[in-house]
Structure 1
Amino acid sequence: MVSQLLWVIFPYLCIFSFIIGHIFRFRYDQFNWTAKSSEFIEKKTLKYGSLMFHIGIVPVFLGHVVGLGVPKEWTRALGISDHLYHLGAAFGGGFFGIITLIGMILLTYRRLSVKAVRKLSSVSDIIVNLLLLFIVFIGVYATFFTTIAVPDFDYRETISVWFRGLLVFSPDAVFMNTVPLSFQLHVLTGFLIIGLWPYTRLVHVWSVPVNYVGRSYIIYRKHR
């Protein structure tokens, strides 16, 4: 029962919250669909922390997409051996994971230690910071330490199979029962962030000003 709750019910509840929450907020709260800027309060730590986080998170995300969504039979068919794949995942993913972790440490330190930034932050801002810091930390820990401590574990034969089953509405919680704790915490935290996403500043990820690309003019209005 606990296994079904953690690996079937909880992920679907988070996905449902992600979809419904975004629809509701887009319809009724578009004016707050952004992140409150605190750059004018403190710039130096924000500059380095944000830069390192964004440099690291994109390759990390793409690595997760490949690792979870692409069966190992497909990579073998492309001529990529399992050993070569794991080397790339460990060293490439680990490198960018560390960059992301350092960025999150700087951003979290800034939010909690700079008094003015802390006052500007809502409870959800702090929760998001701590959750992102934890998920990146536990991911790096799993990559460098758990894979050494449990050398026989292969997430592409357990987590990836379970995840793809989740996407086609036929998840098998049995695949997650033998997964090391650090990987389990990484997965559960990821779904928790997905579930909370629409109700936090994370929605600003979707606010990319695409309509400004190629635009040759800017309208300025004078306020009296």
Structure 2
Amino acid sequence: MSNFETFLWVAYPWLCIAAYIIGISWRWRADQFGWTTHSSQIYESKLLRIASPLFHWGMVFVVIGHLMGLAIPKSWTQAVGVSDTAYHLIATIPGTIAGIAAVLGLIGLIVRRVINKTVFLSTSRSDKVMYVLLAAAILSGFIATVSTQVFGGAHGYDYRETISPWLRQLLIFNAQPELMADVPWEFKVHIVAGFTLIAVWPFTRLVHAFSAPVGYVTRPYVVYRTRDTTSEPARQNVAWEPVRSVKNQLDNDSKWHGA
């Protein structure tokens, strides 16, 4: 294995993870005001209403599939009686559906930013970089899934014998780059694109993924005053008396003295 391949499958992922951890910590400490989605819904909502849920829900199931496939060793599924064929079907069919949803949603979000002038003008440079890297990671992963899993035979490519153990060993600082030697190029491109996206994640609007509105569950209700005056009689404040004008005061005083 060449020095470049060793760098690609050992040093580069570690550098990307370090950039991610340091970047998230810095962003939280120094730029909480910018920790937001920078929503452009006010400029256009019709296409956003379709593309955004499609993309986000697709990505939720894509991430779940990645975690299950990469974190759970092959020996564990075999130990509970799940055959390789069954696992392949369970992983490929829902994964492909989720991938299609994510790709269509991403295309809708990008088209919306291109064809709508107001949304396009509100797109920052970091947004453009983010969309390019996000598209590279998602499209390369979708291509890898379709080419090696959907049309890769009855069992597809068994990434649980190469990519999964490589990543697990990488995360415990026991790098084994030789496991990546015979991995199909589609997966290699997807892995590099994915780690690159992780490296720039803290410096883009993607940080909003960690801003789940958990506080809404426990916050008190917001009480609004009704405008319906027929529902109940209006209450009048009797704790004060209106101030009389000077003219009225003088008139009353003159009447009293005249009497």
Deviations 1:39-91 (A, max 9, x none): 01111111111010112111110110010111110011122111100111111
In the comparison of the two structures, how many residue pairs are matched? 220
Aligned to 1:69: 71
CA RMSD after TM alignment? 1.6
**Unmatched segments (≥5 aa) in structure 2:** 225-259
Change (3 A) 1:210 1:152: closer
Which consecutive segments of 4 or more residues in structure 1 shift more than 6 A?
Answer: none
Change (3 A) 1:10 1:114: same
Measure the CA separation in 2 of the matches of 1:13 and 1:110.
Answer: 34
Equivalent residue for 1:186, pick from 181, 190, 200: 190
Whether the 8 Å CA contact 1:97–1:140 is kept in 2: the answer is: yes
Deviations 1:154-204 (A, max 9, x none): 111111010011111011111112111111111111111110011000111
Shifted more, 73-82 versus 125-134: the winner is 125-134
Structure 1 residue 135 displacement after superposition: 1.7
Change (3 A) 1:42 1:152: closer
Equivalent residue for 1:37, pick from 18, 39, 46: 39
Aligned to 2:230: none
**Unmatched segments (≥5 aa) in structure 1:** none
TM-score, normalized by length of structure 1?
0.93
Identity %: 45
Whether the 8 Å CA contact 1:108–1:133 is kept in 2: the answer is: no
TM-score, normalized by length of structure 2?
0.81
Measure the CA separation in 1 of the matches of 2:173 and 2:72.
Answer: 17
Measure the CA separation in 2 of the matches of 1:116 and 1:152.
Answer: 45
Q: How does 1:107-122 map to 2 (within 5 A)?
A: 107-122=109-124
Measure the CA separation in 2 of the matches of 1:187 and 1:75.
Answer: 24
Aligned to 2:12: 10
Is it true that 1:132 corresponds to 2:130 in the alignment?
A: no
Measure the CA separation in 2 of the matches of 1:100 and 1:112.
Answer: 18
Aligned to 1:161: 165
Measure the CA separation in 1 of the matches of 2:152 and 2:75.
Answer: 26
Aligned to 1:60: 62
Measure the CA separation in 2 of the matches of 1:42 and 1:215.
Answer: 30
Larger RCO (CA under 8 A, 6+ residues apart): 1
Instruction: Give the AA of the match of 2:222.
Output: I
